[in-house]
Chains A and B, each alone.
Chain A
Amino acid sequence: MATLGVEELVSLEGVALGYEGVVALRDVDVKIAPGELIGIVGPSGCGKTTLLRSLLGEPELYAGTARVADNTRVGYVPQVETVDWNFPITVEQVAMLGSWRTRRWLPWTSGAERSRARVVLRLLGIADLADRPIRALSGGEQQRTFLARALVRSPDLLLLDEPTSGVDIKTRHEILHQLATLNTAGVTVVLTTHDLNGVASHLPRLIALGEQTVLADGPPSEVLQPDILERAYGQPMLVVRRGHETYVLPVPEEAPGAHPDAEHDHDDDEDHDHAELSVVDAPQVGADHA
């Protein structure tokens, strides 16, 4: 029987998970401490959402033990692609769904619930959209609306499934900034992302999935490695580091001189002393790089 350490919010030990008897992930060992900001990365269908939802206790558990600390309030933000955007509901009504347990046997919402929803909408910069139907929202506004529903219940643990998919660079930056602010305020944040360069590389901790298990768990400098990424994505990957920035690029099929296992250290940073430069034409990254 696994027990949670004093500093642990979540503990998965030797876990095998899946749906309807089909194992999606096996041998998963993950511990999450309060206040962490974690990204789950990996190719489509590798089990990112399954791992995220395991923190809600949803997939079937076939082996191991999964524990979430008692009295943990969890807020979940789904992929926007799964939402019925033609549903007749306004932004404020969506936000208030998060507090459905308050006066749960009454169909109407209280003044306090509305005030709480308004405060959260204001915090996320969408208070002026409160009465707008959700079908009339942009991608960033959609994400914020569902973030509002999660925040209305004051979560200790915030889970987000692809929070930056389908949004432009500016909105992506704003969403990440808001998540970082929440994290600084003490909310533990776990998100899945396909965006290795714009999102994952900026997070303090990554969990890489592939081959139905956790391939790596640690800071981006340890997880975003060519060999790990090649195992995860089944394709050679080029990793370029510039100071604290990391860029991951798939190696083109016929890239002249490209070495599949190459990690290209692109500055004088002494921390990256394991670079093997076998890329002839270094990728042009950043305006100041030319």
Chain B
Amino acid sequence: MLEPFEFGFMQRAMIAATLVGGVTAAVGVFVILRRLAYIGHGLAHSIFGGAVVSFTIGFNFFLGASLWGAFSVFLINQAARRRQIGGDAAIGIITTAAFAIGIAVISRARSFTRDFEAALFGEILGITNQDLYVTTGMIVLIALVLFVLWKPLVFITFDHDVATSYGISVRWVESIFSLALAATVVAALQVLGVTLIAAALVIPPVVARMLTDSFPRLFLLAVVIGAVTGFLGVYVSWFVDVSSGATVVLVQAAVFALTLAWGLIESRRDFSATQRAERLAGLERSLND
């Protein structure tokens, strides 16, 4: 049972997955409540383009991918403000175009190296100490942004149209949050890969949403679910010999399925209890008559 803890690469992988699981869930809470799940998926693809370009020109991977992500978010925000385009279409166009640039660069270089594969599918077991420090630094920065912008972010997420009238600079807050989202995707890239990041952004908050009606509780629950499933995913992957990123997402999906099933059973039980109470009340009435 303790075998995975004996290896340095597994220790680093479990720490990274726990941190990334927690932070993607934290940012994901705001993403799902604003019904922007699509942006996580799109941004991951867009940032892949940035990662490829950075690698090809020999630029720092984290910095290059982050700048590419930030630029994509800026373009999405600008395009989405035009009524004829709208948010969904803006995300679809810009992130796919950014992804296509990455593909074009790969095809031009005529080589598909291991680094590109790692960005696409994640390579958590290859995380070095330096990667872990950078990832941790980014996560601390993202957590700080959420901490400081908590109140305006909650307001905007709940009641976007009215926030300005309460003195909130919506554009400013949204721009900073978008950058935090881009940084989250970059931080998660090596752990989960482009193809799986969207699930980690969405599943823990959705599970938490199914369990509570209080926003602060939902947030804490989502972070805990994200962190625990991140850790469990890597831990379990050691024994089942399956890709760690995929195992993390599969563990999250299993938690989602269990929560959904439990909710269905509970609502059916509530319905039966109500029916029984109504039947008893009817019987009592007829006896009294």
Chain A residues near B (Cβ < 8 Å): 20, 53, 56, 58, 74, 76, 78, 82-84, 87-90, 93-94, 97-98, 100-101, 104-107, 133, 135, 153, 159
Contact = CB atoms under 8 A, between A and B. Distances in A.
B162 A76 contact: yes
B155 A100 contact: yes
Contacts of A159: 165
A268 B168 CA distance: 54
B175 interface: no
Interface in B180-219: 209, 212-216, 218
B148 A97 contact: no
Contacts of B218: 88
Contacts of A89: 158, 213-215
Q: Across chains A and B, which 4 residue pairs bring their CB atoms closest together, nearest first?
A: A107-B150, A133-B213, A100-B151, A56-B165
A101 B158 contact: no
Given A74-B165, A97-B154, A107-B150, A135 B159 contact: no
Nearest to A135: B213
Given A20-B83, A97-B154, A107 B147 contact: yes
A76 B213 contact: no
B241 interface: no
20 contacts: A56-B164, A76-B162, A82-B161, A83-B159, A88-B209, A88-B212, A88-B218, A89-B158, A90-B213, A90-B214, A93-B215, A97-B151, A97-B155, A97-B159, A100-B152, A100-B166, A104-B152, A107-B151, A133-B213, A153-B166
B168 A100 contact: yes
B58 interface: no
Contacts of A58: 164-165
B33 interface: yes
Contacts of A100: 151-152, 155, 166, 168
A107 B151 CA distance: 6
Contacts of B155: 97, 100
- The interface residues of chain B, by DSSP majority, are classed as helix
A76 B166 contact: yes
- The interface residues of chain A, by DSSP majority, are classed as loop
A209 B50 CA distance: 52
A100 B154 CA distance: 10
A159 to B, nearest CB: 8
A107 B145 CA distance: 11
A88 B213 contact: yes
A84 B192 CA distance: 32
A76 B159 CA distance: 12
A215 B192 CA distance: 61
A96 to B, nearest CB: 9
Contact of A88 (B150, B166, B168, B214): B214
A155 to B, nearest CB: 10
Contacts of A74: 165
B158 A87 contact: yes
Given A78-B162, A87-B157, A93-B216, 11 more contacts: A74-B165, A76-B166, A88-B209, A89-B158, A90-B214, A93-B215, A97-B155, A100-B151, A105-B148, A107-B147, A107-B150
B158 A76 contact: no
Nearest to A76: B165
A20 B82 CA distance: 8
A135 to B, nearest CB: 7
A20 B166 CA distance: 22
Given A58-B164, A100-B168, A78 B152 contact: no
Contacts of A56: 164-165
A89 B162 CA distance: 16
A93 B155 CA distance: 10
A141 to B, nearest CB: 15
B225 to A, nearest CB: 15
Contacts of A101: 167
Contact of B33 (A78, A87, A94, A133): A87
Nearest to A101: B167
Interface string B125-167: 0000000000000000000000110111011011101101111
A82 B159 CA distance: 9
A17 to B, nearest CB: 15
A101 B212 CA distance: 26
A277 to B, nearest CB: 47
A97 B158 contact: yes
A70 to B, nearest CB: 14
Contacts of A133: 213-214
Which of B154, B157, B168 has most chain A Cβ within 10 Å? B154
Nearest to A97: B155
Interface in B208-254: 209, 212-216, 218
A78 to B, nearest CB: 5
Nearest to A104: B151
A93 B161 CA distance: 18
Nearest to A134: B213
